[in-house]
A and B are shown apart, each in its own frame.
Chain A
Amino acid sequence: MWIQFLLIAAIVAIGYFFMRRTGADSHLALRRIGFVLFIIAAVLAVLFPQWLTWLANLIGVGRGTDLLLYALIIVFLVFVFTQFRRNVSLQRQLTLLSRRIAILDARERERAESASPDDDADGARADDPRA
């Protein structure tokens, strides 16, 4: 069936892209193992849908597609949560970085002002695009 061919091609392609070495190498090996397992399970589920239904029945779910939907919801919520956590920590880093920049810039202007007291306070900020 065409749909099986298309799905398997998509799964393998996505798996390949996710397993490529990116900038963040934390848990790379674990991620690769996880993705190989995911590809195997996904291809099997596409080729033998009854296998998924068998698994679903085993744990009290009527159809394999229902099991897939439940799994998708859980994975999605985990994704949202991890993204939220990452967002909070990024915001924290942004705050610290911005503060560092703000204070460094302020110190520099302060030193410039005390070094040349004749200068108008505006002079030291002439290069600031917002000033």
Chain B
Amino acid sequence: MIGDVITGLREHFAHVVCVDDGSTDDSAQRAADAGAFVVRHPVNLGQGAALQTGIEFALLHDDAEYVVTFDADGQHRVEDALAMVARARDEDLAIVFGSRFLDDRTRPGALKKLVLKTAAWVTNMTTGLTLTDAHNGLRVIRRDAAAHLALQQDRMAHATEIVLQLGRTGLPWAEHPVEVLYTDYSKAKGQSLLNAVNILVDLVVR
């Protein structure tokens, strides 16, 4: 699965960084074989920590203009990522958030939609931005905006934290319609509905 995702990305992006968050199977090796540069956490830390590591590593390279965050489970489309980078360039945007709710390509179940909408509402309450889809892993972040990121929430609550920190930069941003592919794999890997409880508690209890 991860091999296909990386291969798809490598057709259009020269540099793909894959953060191995202490995995014990061979997925890190497969990512490397598919052409990603793998950065390895020595122990499992969580998705937010992995995101921060990947972004910091990317920013160490002076030629990195934009950072695209892209889930490795195959739920995002490379075409959407390309369109978002193009839009960031054309409209001089520092941040482009992907949203599955701006068009009707993505059809999440009613319950999932409710959870995502609630998460978006919580995010908007805490960050002051008005996003339609807060928990979408596909984002384009320009270098200057990415340099402001210092994610502290190691686990899932980072999705709100990243919006909060990017919002505080005051840099121009937009939401871009993307399609989320609910493959069986990404469904199995995706956050369960119970995780919504964790996200809320993580945000309130610091």
Residues of B bordering A, CB below 8 Å: 19, 24, 28-29, 32, 37-43, 45, 49, 52-53, 56-57, 60, 152, 154
Q: A121 vs B60: C-alpha distance in the bound complex, in angstroms?
A: 20
- Tell me, rounded to whole Å, the shortest Cβ–Cβ distance linking B203 to chain A: 15
Residues of B within 8 A of A103 (CB): 39, 53, 56-57, 60
Instruction: Determine which of A95, A106, A122 lies in contact with B40 in the assembled complex, contact meaning CB atoms within 8 Å.
Output: A106
Asked if A20 CB lies within 8 Å of chain B CBs, one says no
**A101–B57 CB distance below 8 A:** no
**B57–A98 CB distance below 8 A:** no
| Chain A, 72-116, CB within 8 A of any chain B CB | 91-92, 94-95, 98-99, 101-103, 105-107, 110
Instruction: Determine which of B29, B38, B53 lies in contact with A99 in the assembled complex, contact meaning CB atoms within 8 Å.
Output: B53
20 contacts between A and B (CB under 8 A): A91-B154, A94-B45, A95-B154, A98-B42, A98-B43, A99-B45, A102-B40, A102-B41, A102-B57, A103-B53, A103-B56, A103-B57, A105-B40, A106-B38, A106-B39, A106-B40, A122-B32, A125-B32, A131-B28, A131-B29
Q: A82 vs B32: C-alpha distance in the bound complex, in angstroms?
A: 42
Chain B interface SS verdict (over half): mixed
Instruction: Determine which of A98, A110, A121 lies in contact with B32 in the assembled complex, contact meaning CB atoms within 8 Å.
Output: A121
Q: A107 vs B28: C-alpha distance in the bound complex, in angstroms?
A: 17
Q: A106 vs B20: C-alpha distance in the bound complex, in angstroms?
A: 11
Given the known A-B contacts A92-B152, A106-B37, A122-B32, are A98 and B60 also in contact in the complex, defined by CB atoms under 8 Å?
no
Closest to A105 in B: B40
- Tell me, rounded to whole Å, the shortest Cβ–Cβ distance linking B114 to chain A: 30
Q: A28 vs B41: C-alpha distance in the bound complex, in angstroms?
A: 36
Closest to B23 in A: A130
Q: A107 vs B41: C-alpha distance in the bound complex, in angstroms?
A: 13
Q: A99 vs B45: C-alpha distance in the bound complex, in angstroms?
A: 9
- Tell me, rounded to whole Å, the shortest Cβ–Cβ distance linking B33 to chain A: 8
Residues of B within 8 A of A98 (CB): 41-43, 45, 49
Residues of B within 8 A of A107 (CB): 60
**A106–B154 CB distance below 8 A:** no
Residues of A within 8 A of B42 (CB): 98, 101-102
**B40–A130 CB distance below 8 A:** yes
